[in-house]
C-alpha cells in the first residue's frame, strides 16, 4: 500500500533525489562511467529512476476509496429494503461498512468521538440505486456530440437549425457527430437523405446516430472515409446500407454490423482521448442521479485499453502501472465514483480474464452479453405477428409490410455461445425485445437442460413483449428479466398507434406478472438511449402512463416498494452482490443516498420530481461536480 505524505515532506524527498542525482553525476562522471562496467551503469541508472518514480508515486494525488469516516445518520425516514427491519431510527457506518442499525439512543452511546453526525432533518436515507443495464463507454463517447434528441428539440425546424448552426464550429475534414435523432419524439421529422447531408456539410464527414442506436445516417464523405463504396456488400439481411433503385446509397445505415466500419474510423480519428476525458463526468452523473453501482451491459469495445481505463477509474485501488499512466496523463486522475460491473460482448473473447473470480467489489467482469434480436424502431425486434402496416412503419421506420423481424443469431449459435460461457463460469445476458425472440431463447435453455438449482442468474434484457408461457419458464429455470420500462413512457403512444398495435402495447413490459411468478426483475433506462434517472423509471413502473398521459397495461401496475426493490436489492441480486450491497443491513457496504422526500409517502404522480441530495459509496461522499 502506498503511504500518503504531506506536501512539505514531498519537497524534502524531491530535494534529496535532486542531490542524489547530482552526487551520482560527480561520483560517476562521464569519464569514469565509460571505464566502469555496464552492470554498474545500469544499476546506477535504474536506482535513480526507481527513486524518482517512488517520489512521484508518493506525491500522487489520485484518490483511492478510503475506509471512509465513521458516520451516524439519524432524524429522518430510513428505508432499508430489509423486511425484518424496514425503518430503523439510525444507521451507524464504520470503515465504510454498515456497523449497526436500530434505536438512535442505543447506537449513539457506542460510537467513537470522531464520528461524523449527520442529522437528516426529515430527509430520507435509502440504499444506493443500482443501474442494472447501462452503457457508460457509449455515453462517454456521445457526451459532447451535437444533441439532436427529442429531449432537447420540440420541432424538426428547431432541430435542423441547431445542426446548421453547429457546423461552423468544425474545421473542414473533421468528423461532425450527432446523437439522439428521434422520429417519434420530434413530430414530423423524417430521415435525412445523403444529398441533404452533403448539402449541409460538403467538407466534413457527418454521422447521425438515432436515439435507439440501432439506426444511423451518414453523408457521402463519411461513407468514403469509412471505406464503404457501392460495391461493398451488406453485412447481413438485418444490417445493411440502404440503396435506392439505382444502387446508390440513401445515407441510411441499419444496425451494428453495418455501422462497425464507421465506428472504427471515428475511433481512429478521435482516439481514446474523448473517452478518457468524458468517462469520469459520465460516472459522476450516475452518482448525481442516485446510483452507487452500475452494470455496463455489453461494453462496446474490442480494445483492452478501454477495460484498463474503467478498471483504473472504478477499482477500490489502482495498480502501480495505472498510477504511472495517470501521472503521465495517459489515464485520468482517479476520483471516487460508482462501482462498475461489466458484461463483455460475446464476440470479444480476448477481453475476458482467465477466471470469473476477478476484480474486486468495486470493479469486476461479470459475464457475457448476446444479442438475439434488435429494436422495434428498425423492425429488428423479432415478433410472432407482423408489425403494423402503415405510412409510418413503411416510410419512416423502413419496415416492409408483413415484416416480423428476424433473429440475429441462429438457435445453434445461441446454444453454442451459452454453453461456452456458462461452462467457464460467466453469467449470460441476452438482448431480446420480441415475444418470439424470448420464446426461442427459453426453448434453447430448455434444450440445454438448464436446472433451476444452478445459480447462474442468467438474464434477458429489455423484454418489451414477453408472454406468460415464457415468464413461467423463466421462473422454473431461474432466469430473470431486466425491463426497459421507459419504452412505455417515451414511445408508448407510437407503439400502440403506429408500430405494434393496441393489444400488444397493453400487454408489454409485464412487471406484475413477473413479480407474481417470483422473478427478481430490475428496471433500466439503457442509457444513452434514455437518461439514466431512477425516479423516472419508478414513476413509469407504478403509473404506466405514456408521455401524453395514456395508461397502458393497468393490469401490470406494481407498488412503489416493488419498484424500489427492482432498483436496489433485486439489481444487486442479479449481479450476485446482494450479500454486500442493495439494502441497508449490518455488514453491507455503506452505499447510501439521501433524498429530499420519502418515495413511499410521495404521490405516485410526483415521483419524478424527487431529488437526490447526497450519494455515498463505501462511506465516501461522492463529489459529483464536473
Q: DSSP labels for 52-72?
A: HHHHHHHT--PPP------EE
Tell me the mean pLDDT in the region 609-619. Answer: 97
Tell me the mean pLDDT in the region 278-285. Answer: 93
- Length of the chain (residues): 626
State whether the Cα torsion 152-158-160-162 is positive or negative.
negative
The pLDDT assigned to 68 comes to 76
**Residue 144 CA neighbour count, 13 Å, CB half:** 11
Residue 30 has pLDDT above 60, yes or no: no
Tell me the mean pLDDT in the region 497-513. Answer: 98
Nearest CA to 211 out of 486, 409, 395 is that of 486
Tell me the mean pLDDT in the region 30-56. Answer: 57
The pLDDT assigned to 60 comes to 53
Measured in degrees and rounded to the nearest 5, phi and psi for residue 9 equal: -70, -40
The pLDDT assigned to 65 comes to 76
Tell me the mean pLDDT in the region 15-34. Answer: 39
DSSP alpha helices (H): ranges in 28-100? 30-35, 38-58
The pLDDT assigned to 64 comes to 76
Distance CA 131, CA 143 (A): 18
E strands, 543-587, are none
Distance CA 164, CA 262 (A): 22
What are the tens digits of pLDDT across the range 137-147?
989 988 889 99
Tell me the mean pLDDT in the region 179-199. Answer: 93
Residue 340 has pLDDT above 80, yes or no: yes
Per-residue pLDDT band for 6 (boundaries 50, 70, 90) equals very low
* pLDDT, the chain, mean: 89
Distance CA 576, CA 520 (A): 12
Residue 49 has pLDDT above 70, yes or no: no
Is 415 within 8 Å of 447 (Cβ atoms)? Answer: yes
Q: Give the residue with greater pLDDT, 46 vs 285.
A: 285
pTM of the model: 0.87
Is 207 within 8 Å of 262 (Cβ atoms)? Answer: yes
Distance CA 274, CA 174 (A): 14
E strands, 168-257, are 176-181, 206-210, 215-218, 241-243, 249-254
Per-residue pLDDT band for 301 (boundaries 50, 70, 90) equals confident
Residue 532 has pLDDT above 80, yes or no: yes
Question: What residues pair up with 294 in beta bridges, in sequence order?
Answer: 131, 340
316-334 residues labelled b (16+ CB within 10 A) or e (exposed): eebeeebbbbbbeeebbeb
What are the tens digits of pLDDT across the range 124-135?
999 999 999 999
Q: How far lies 514's CA from each of 70, 417, 488, 507, 546, in Å?
A: 40, 26, 17, 12, 21
The pLDDT assigned to 214 comes to 86
Residue 245: how many CB atoms within 10 A of its CB?
Answer: 5
Per-residue pLDDT band for 23 (boundaries 50, 70, 90) equals very low
Q: Indicate left, alpha or beta for 266 from its phi (over 0: left) and psi (-120 to 50: alpha).
A: alpha
Tell me the mean pLDDT in the region 473-485. Answer: 97
The pLDDT assigned to 329 comes to 85
Is 340 within 8 Å of 362 (Cβ atoms)? Answer: yes
Measured in degrees and rounded to the nearest 5, phi and psi for residue 368 equal: -120, 145
Lowest mean per-residue pLDDT among 303-307, 356-360, 372-376, 382-386: 303-307
The pLDDT assigned to 62 comes to 58
Could you say which DSSP state residue 236 is in?
A: B
Residue 18 has pLDDT above 50, yes or no: no
Could you say which DSSP state residue 470 is in?
A: H
Nearest CA to 505 out of 404, 360, 388 is that of 388
Per-residue pLDDT band for 603 (boundaries 50, 70, 90) equals very high
Distance CA 596, CA 131 (A): 20
Q: Give the residue with greater pLDDT, 431 vs 263.
A: 431
Residue with cell 441480486: 573
Element (H, E) at 20: helix 7-27
Residue 14: how many CB atoms within 10 A of its CB?
Answer: 15
**Residue 50 CA neighbour count, 13 Å, CB half:** 6
Per-residue pLDDT band for 8 (boundaries 50, 70, 90) equals very low
Residue 472 has pLDDT above 60, yes or no: yes
What are the tens digits of pLDDT across the range 223-248?
999 999 999 999 988 889 999 999 99
Tell me the mean pLDDT in the region 472-480. Answer: 96
Distance CA 336, CA 10 (A): 23
Measured in degrees and rounded to the nearest 5, phi and psi for residue 517 equal: -100, 20
Lowest mean per-residue pLDDT among 269-278, 283-292, 418-427, 617-626: 269-278
Distance CA 154, CA 351 (A): 42
Tell me the mean pLDDT in the region 140-159. Answer: 92
Share of the chain above pLDDT 90, in %: 74
The pLDDT assigned to 13 comes to 39
Radius of gyration of the chain (CA): 27
What are the tens digits of pLDDT across the range 60-110?
555 677 777 899 999 999 999 998 888 999 999 999 999 999 999 999 998
The pLDDT assigned to 433 comes to 98
Is 474 within 8 Å of 482 (Cβ atoms)? Answer: no
Residue 10 has pLDDT above 70, yes or no: no
Residue 517 has pLDDT above 50, yes or no: yes
Is 437 within 8 Å of 382 (Cβ atoms)? Answer: yes
Tell me the mean pLDDT in the region 575-593. Answer: 98
Task: Give the SS3 label for residue 333.
Answer: coil
Amino acid at each position: 500500500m502506498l503511504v500518503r505524505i504531506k506536501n512539505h515532506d514531498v519537497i524534502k524527498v524531491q530535494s534529496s533525489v535532486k542531490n542524489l542525482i547530482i552526487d551520482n553525476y560527480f561520483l560517476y562522471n562521464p569519464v569514469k562511467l565509460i571505464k566502469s562496467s555496464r552492470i554498474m551503469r545500469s544499476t546506477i541508472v535504474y536506482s535513480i529512476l526507481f527513486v524518482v518514480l517512488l517520489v512521484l508515486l508518493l506525491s500522487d494525488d489520485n484518490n483511492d476509496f478510503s475506509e471512509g469516516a465513521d458516520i451516524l445518520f439519524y432524524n429522518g425516514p430510513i428505508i432499508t429494503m430489509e423486511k425484518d427491519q424496514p425503518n430503523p431510527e439510525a444507521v451507524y457506518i464504520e470503515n465504510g461498512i454498515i456497523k449497526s442499525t436500530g434505536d438512535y439512543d442505543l447506537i449513539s452511546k457506542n460510537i467513537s468521538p470522531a464520528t461524523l453526525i449527520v442529522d437528516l432533518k426529515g430527509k430520507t436515507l435509502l440504499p444506493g440505486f443500482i443501474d442494472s443495464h447501462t452503457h457508460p463507454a457509449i455515453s462517454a463517447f456521445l457526451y459532447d456530440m451535437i444533441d439532436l434528441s427529442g429531449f432537447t428539440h420540440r420541432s424538426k425546424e428547431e432541430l435542423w437549425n441547431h445542426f446548421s448552426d453547429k457546423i461552423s464550429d468544425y474545421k473542414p475534414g473533421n468528423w461532425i457527430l450527432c446523437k439522439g435523432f428521434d422520429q417519434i419524439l420530434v413530430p414530423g421529422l423524417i430521415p435525412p437523405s445523403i444529398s441533404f447531408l452533403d448539402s449541409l456539410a460538403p467538407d466534413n464527414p457527418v454521422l447521425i446516430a438515432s436515439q435507439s442506436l440501432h439506426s444511423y445516417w451518414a453523408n457521402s464523405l463519411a461513407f468514403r472515409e469509412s471505406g464503404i463504396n457501392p460495391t461493398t456488400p451488406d453485412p447481413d439481411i438485418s444490417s445493411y446500407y440502404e440503396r435506392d433503385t439505382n444502387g446508390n446509397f440513401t445515407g441510411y445505415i441499419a444496425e451494428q454490423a453495418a455501422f462497425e466500419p464507421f465506428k472504427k474510423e471515428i475511433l481512429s480519428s478521435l482516439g481514446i482521448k474523448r473517452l478518457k476525458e468524458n468517462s469520469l463526468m459520465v460516472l459522476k452523473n450516475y452518482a448525481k442521479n442516485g446510483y452507487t453501482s452500475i452494470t455496463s451491459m455489453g461494453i462496446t469495445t474490442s480494445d483492452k485499453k478501454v477495460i484498463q481505463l474503467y478498471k483504473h477509474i472504478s477499482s477500490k485501488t489502482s495498480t502501480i502501472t495505472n498510477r504511472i499512466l495517470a501521472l503521465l496523463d495517459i489515464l485520468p486522475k482517479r476520483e471516487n465514483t460508482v462501482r462498475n460491473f461489466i458484461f463483455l460482448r460475446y464476440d470479444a473473447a480476448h477481453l475476458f480474464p482467465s477466471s470469473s473470480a476477478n476484480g474486486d467489489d468495486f470493479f469486476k467482469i461479470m459475464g457475457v452479453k448476446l444479442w438475439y434480436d434488435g429494436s422495434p424502431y428498425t423492425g429488428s425486434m423479432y415478433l410472432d405477428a407482423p408489425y403494423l402496416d402503415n405510412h409510418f412503419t413503411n416510410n419512416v421506420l423502413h419496415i416492409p409490410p408483413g415484416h416480423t423481424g428476424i433473429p440475429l443469431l441462429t438457435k445453434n449459435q445461441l446454444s453454442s455461445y451459452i454453453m461456452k460461457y456458462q461452462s467457464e463460469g460467466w453469467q449470460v445476458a441476452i438482448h431480446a425485445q420480441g415475444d418470439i425472440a424470448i420464446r426461442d431463447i427459453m426453448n434453447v435453455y430448455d434444450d440445454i437442460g438448464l436446472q433451476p438449482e444452478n445459480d447462474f442468474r442468467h438474464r434477458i434484457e429489455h423484454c418489451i413483449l414477453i408472454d406468460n408461457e415464457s415468464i413461467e419458464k423463466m421462473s422454473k429455470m431461474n432466469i430473470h428479466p431486466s425491463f426497459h420500462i421507459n419504452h412505455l413512457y417515451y414511445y408508448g403512444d407510437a407503439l400502440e398507434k403506429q408500430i405494434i398495435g393496441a393489444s400488444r402495447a397493453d400487454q408489454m413490459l409485464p412487471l406484475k406478472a413477473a413479480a407474481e411468478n417470483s422473478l427478481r426483475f430490475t428496471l433500466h433506462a439503457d442509457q444513452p438511449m434514455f437518461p439514466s434517472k431512477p425516479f423516472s423509471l419508478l414513476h413509469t413502473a407504478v403509473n404506466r402512463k405514456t408521455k401524453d398521459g395514456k395508461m397502458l397495461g393497468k393490469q401490470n401496475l406494481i407498488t412503489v416498494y416493488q419498484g424500489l426493490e427492482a432498483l436496489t436489492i433485486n439489481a444487486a441480486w442479479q449481479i450476485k452482490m446482494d450479500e454486500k450491497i442493495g439494502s441497508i443491513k449490518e455488514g453491507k457496504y455503506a452505499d447510501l443516498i439521501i433524498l429530499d422526500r420519502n418515495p413511499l409517502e410521495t404521490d405516485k404522480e410526483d415521483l419524478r420530481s424527487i431529488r437526490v441530495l447526497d450519494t455515498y459509496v463505501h462511506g465516501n461522499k461522492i463529489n459529483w461536480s464536473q
